[in-house]
Amino acid sequence: MSSWIDYTVNGIIIGNIYALLAVGLALIFGVSRLINFAHGSVYVVGAYAGFLAVTHLGTPLPVTIALVVVVGALLGLVIERFGLRPLQGYAHIAPLLATIGISFVLDQLVQLFFTPDPRALPSSLLETRFQIGSGTIGALDLVIAAIGLASAGLLYTFLRYTRLGWAVRATAQDRDAAQQMGVDVDAVNRTVFAIASGLGAVSGLLVGMYYNYIDPAMSFQATLKGVVAQVVGGVGNVPGAIAGSLLLGLVESYGIALFGTSYRNLFAFVLLVAVLVWRPNGLFASKRQTPPEPMTGTFIAPSRPIQIPGKVLLAAAAVAALVPLVLPHPYVLQTLTNSWLYALLGLSLTLIAGTVGLVSLGHAALLAIGGYSSALLALNFGVPVGIAILSAGLIAALLGTVLVFPSFRLRGHYLSIATLAIGEIVSLVILNWEWLTRGPIGVSGIPSLSLFGIELDTDRSVYWFTLVLVIVLAALQLRLLGSHLGRVLRAVRDDDVAARSYGIRLDRYKALAFAFGSFAAGVSGGVTSHIYSYINHETFNAQLSILALTIVILGGMGNVTGAIVGSVLLVGLPEVFRVAAEYRVLIYGLVLLLLVRFRPQGLLGTV
């Protein structure tokens, strides 16, 4: 049995590792107002660079660290070059989306080179442990603590006593004013990305040595942990990020001691949402000030949507309906069915992110809620599948809206982060709520699709069923957009200050749109569960959320037809060309990155 001292030591060490990540995120946010979602990828690359150095070159620890810093810094420069610099003057969410794209690409490249399998990252340090009181502290713990302290000291010296450090601080406080003092803010950005990424890479190396374990999937969790720590400490606040990291490390370590490992991340994300909603300046902000918020503005590139005549739409629907008769190939039908399911998700997100401007990064959670609801209703209570799916839509609408409601007051980046965290929370609750969800085992034996007692057991019938769902929901959504309500929703998006001054109750309208959108996502999740017959907490993962967003941006934010087209292109096409699964995520990442940069209005234009 470990003692409390052990848990404390462990918490502080993990806190140090988080601090190396969070400080970088805070620096980057400080000078560029960007939450860098590629930061976790730098951490993974750092871990793997260390792995290569240790296992292939046999480098001693100091050399390994130096190498990892250099690799990280170079990667940081690349991220700045492609994720931030070309997007100046774009909506502020654009660089955030670009860094998500970059992180997909980087993570996938790491996976392609090193396989997704975990590796051991042996630390060359002796397994010596020193007794302190009733606990122990290891040599590696001391090294990590020393690196944490040394980095903090170096950073402090840099910011306080060097010219460039002054430039960084001045830029963080007022970018325009700094420029007017002659500061080259682009150079400042580059410096900060290099430093932040150097530190982030070392963090990855240390974590790998600490657990003697690395795998490419660490990336996303690392980004999230860094974001949590820096939000808790106050966005853009460097000392706050360190304090937030240590706090997070301790909370997690004690949490594990009290409740077990699988709850660990739950604490982190609940903490994140709570701080975002109730203390948006972070826990340590002394005075009531509004949080830095230049990142308002939605990702709606002004454009005239391409008008598709009703006749063409009808014809397209008719062609789609005829596919099973003309091309009764199971593979084609399954692929297109899959596209229709994603189209439902796209419809949902294009309404929420496009029409109302709430860029949700946790949309897969709605699928998960829908999927589990429908599966469990049918399985545990014998509810007919058709009714179970309908209920799943309603449950997703209700639960989704209730969960996100407190975050409606947040704007821009902050809302996106909150939805991301809520998505993770939902997935972790599913993992831990075993008596209901069967936890990690997942739900199997889900009854297959049927309607009014008729089994939809052919590929053809499933195809038609999902197609009809898409057409009905798309038609409803088009009517909604054309109505007075639709105009109000767009007004909320375009200028919520103005909309508020007309007396529009923003939260209610956001909730209404969110509920409508969640219904479609819940239905999609429900149908999916009956088609798969097995789901678990990872079926609807965060990657899916980002895929959904890419679909929606590809089609054109807010564009109903675009969501369907985007889904066929992104989900259907790679399938038709039988692109190997490893390359798909790479493609999604690249598409997202290129769209944000070159065609933010999407293929069919924003509405």
Partner 1 sequence: MTELLSLENINTFYGPVQVHFDLSLTVGRGHIVCLLGGNASGKSTTMKIILGLVKPQSGIVRFDGQPATGLPTPQIVRRGVGSVPEARRLFGDMSVRENLLMGAFVRKDQKAIAEDLDRVLGLFPKLAERLAQRAGTLSGGEQQMVAMARALMGRPKLICMDEPTMGLSPLWVDRVLDLIAAINKEGVTVFMVEQNASLALEIAHHAYVLQTGRIVLQGPASQLRADPRIRDAYLGGQEAA
Residue corresponding to tokens 């909150």: 418
Rank residues 177 and 315 by Cβ distance to partner 1 and give the closer one.
177
Q: Could you give the C-alpha distances from 470 to 218, 496, 497, 532, 574, in angstroms and in order?
A: 35, 30, 34, 19, 21
Residue 474 CA neighbour count, 13 Å, CB half: 24
**C-beta of residue 265 within 8 angstroms of C-beta of residue 423:** no
**Nearest-5° Cα angle at 153, 152 to 154:** 95
Tokens of 528: 């999916």
Chain-centre distance for alpha carbon 581 = 20
Rank residues 281 and 348 by Cβ distance to partner 1 and give the closer one.
281
**In the complex, least distance from residue 170 CB atom to partner 1, rounded to whole angstroms:** 5
**In the complex, least distance from residue 173 CB atom to partner 1, rounded to whole angstroms:** 4
Nearest-10 Cα torsion for 178, 179, 185, 188: -40
Rank residues 85 and 119 by Cβ distance to partner 1 and give the closer one.
85
**In the complex, least distance from residue 536 CB atom to partner 1, rounded to whole angstroms:** 48
Rank residues 242 and 571 by Cβ distance to partner 1 and give the closer one.
242
Rank residues 174 and 455 by Cβ distance to partner 1 and give the closer one.
174
Chain-centre distance for alpha carbon 308 = 33
**In the complex, least distance from residue 94 CB atom to partner 1, rounded to whole angstroms:** 17
Tokens of 171: 């830029």
Alpha helices in 234-357 (DSSP H): 238-259, 264-278, 310-326, 330-349
Rank residues 171 and 230 by Cβ distance to partner 1 and give the closer one.
171
How far apart CA 45 and CA 74 sit, in angstroms, is 11
Q: Strand pairing partners for 135?
A: 132
Rank residues 172 and 251 by Cβ distance to partner 1 and give the closer one.
172
Rank residues 261 and 290 by Cβ distance to partner 1 and give the closer one.
290
**C-beta of residue 516 within 8 angstroms of C-beta of residue 480:** yes
Residue corresponding to tokens 């706090």: 247
**In the complex, least distance from residue 180 CB atom to partner 1, rounded to whole angstroms:** 4
Rank residues 124 and 173 by Cβ distance to partner 1 and give the closer one.
173
**In the complex, least distance from residue 150 CB atom to partner 1, rounded to whole angstroms:** 25
**In the complex, least distance from residue 174 CB atom to partner 1, rounded to whole angstroms:** 5
Rg of the chain taking only CA atoms, in angstroms: 24
**In the complex, least distance from residue 598 CB atom to partner 1, rounded to whole angstroms:** 19
**In the complex, least distance from residue 182 CB atom to partner 1, rounded to whole angstroms:** 4
Query: How would you classify the pairing of strands 135-138 and 443-444?
Result: unpaired
Rank residues 167 and 513 by Cβ distance to partner 1 and give the closer one.
167
Q: Could you give the C-alpha distances from 381 to 142, 378, 434, 442, 524, in angstroms and in order?
A: 55, 6, 17, 17, 21
Tokens of 450: 């049927």
Where on the chain is the footprint of partner 1 (CB under 8 A)?
163, 166-167, 169-170, 173-174, 176-184
**In the complex, least distance from residue 532 CB atom to partner 1, rounded to whole angstroms:** 48
String of b and e for 518-548 (b: at least 16 CB within 10 Å)? bbbbbbbbbbbbbbeeebbbebbbbbbbbbb
**In the complex, least distance from residue 603 CB atom to partner 1, rounded to whole angstroms:** 24
Chain-centre distance for alpha carbon 528 = 22
Residue 113 CA neighbour count, 13 Å, CB half: 12
Rank residues 170 and 396 by Cβ distance to partner 1 and give the closer one.
170
N residues, the chain: 607
